Amino acid sequence: MAFTVEQSDLQALDLEFPGLNFSRARNCIWGTLSFACSCDRKDQKIIYSNCGESYIEDSYEIKIDFSNRDTFGFPVVYEESERIATSLKAGEIDDSKRHIDTSDGSCCLGIFPEYQWNGVTNFLYEKVIPFFYWYSFLQHHGEPPWHGFAHGHPGLIQAMSMVPSKVLKGRYSNKLCPCDSGKKYKVCCKSRDLALLRKIPLKLRIP
C-alpha cells in the first residue's frame, strides 16, 4: 500500500500537531510530538482528557518515514530525541520492556493487523501517541500502563487468540473463541489470527 501525505493531512497537522513538520523531499514527518492524555488500563485505551492519576503531558522528538514500512505495512516511526534509548542504556527501563528495534532504532508500535489507514492524524492518535504514552507512564509510575508483547515472531504468537497450529484446522472454527468473548472463533478472532499467522514462519507454528 502506498501512503501519500495529502493537503488535508497537512492542514490537520498544523491544527492539531503544530510541532510537527512535513518534508516532501525526505518523505517524512518530523519534529516535536506533544500529547496530553490519560488511559483506561483495563481496556488498554488512550483517553484524550484529564482522567486522574494516569494523566500525562509529555513530548518527544520523532520522525515518521513514509519511504519505509513496518511489519504491518505502515510508515516507520523513530524517536529522534533518544529518550527511550538513553533510559534503556542507563538501566532505567528493563530490557524486557524494550520496544525499539535494535537493528535500526525504529519504534515497535504494537501488533495491529486489523488497523486501516485513515490519514496521518488518525495514525498519530491511534498508534504513535499510545506508544510514547506507554513509555512516559512507565517512567512516571515505574510500571507500564498495560502489558506489552514480546519482540518479533514470539510477540506475534502471543498476540494470537488461538495457538498457531490450530488456526487452520476447521474443527476449531465453531468452538468458542479463546479470548472469552463468548463468540465462535470463526466470527471473532480468526481473521486477525490468520493475518498474524501469515507473518510467522512455518517452523515456528508449533503446537
Q: What is the pLDDT of residue 207?
A: 57
> From CA 138, how far away is CA 157, in angstroms rounded?
24
Q: What is the pLDDT of residue 113?
A: 85
Q: What is the pLDDT of residue 1?
A: 62
Q: What is the pLDDT of residue 199?
A: 86
Q: What is the pLDDT of residue 72?
A: 85
Per cent of the chain over pLDDT 70 is 98
> From CA 156, how far away is CA 112, in angstroms rounded?
10
How confident is the prediction for the chain on average, in pLDDT? 90
Dump pLDDT digits (tens) for 133-170.
Answer: 999 999 999 999 998 888 788 888 888 899 899 999 98
Radius of gyration of the chain (CA): 18
Residue 129 has pLDDT above 80, yes or no: yes
Q: What is the CA 78 to chain-centroid distance, rounded?
A: 12
Confidence of residue 2 (pLDDT cuts 50, 70, 90): low
Whole-structure pTM value: 0.84
Across the range 164-183, mean pLDDT stands at: 92
- Delineate the domains of the chain, giving CATH numbers in brackets: 7-141 (3.10.110), 152-204 (no CATH)
Dump pLDDT digits (tens) for 65-102.
Answer: 999 998 888 999 999 998 988 888 877 777 667 788 87
Q: What is the pLDDT of residue 65?
A: 97
Q: What is the pLDDT of residue 24?
A: 92
Sequence-distant (6+) residues with CB within 8 A of 123 are: 64, 74, 75, 117
Q: Which residue has the cell 523513530?
A: 78
Across the range 33-51, mean pLDDT stands at: 94
Across the range 54-65, mean pLDDT stands at: 97
Q: What is the pLDDT of residue 90?
A: 78
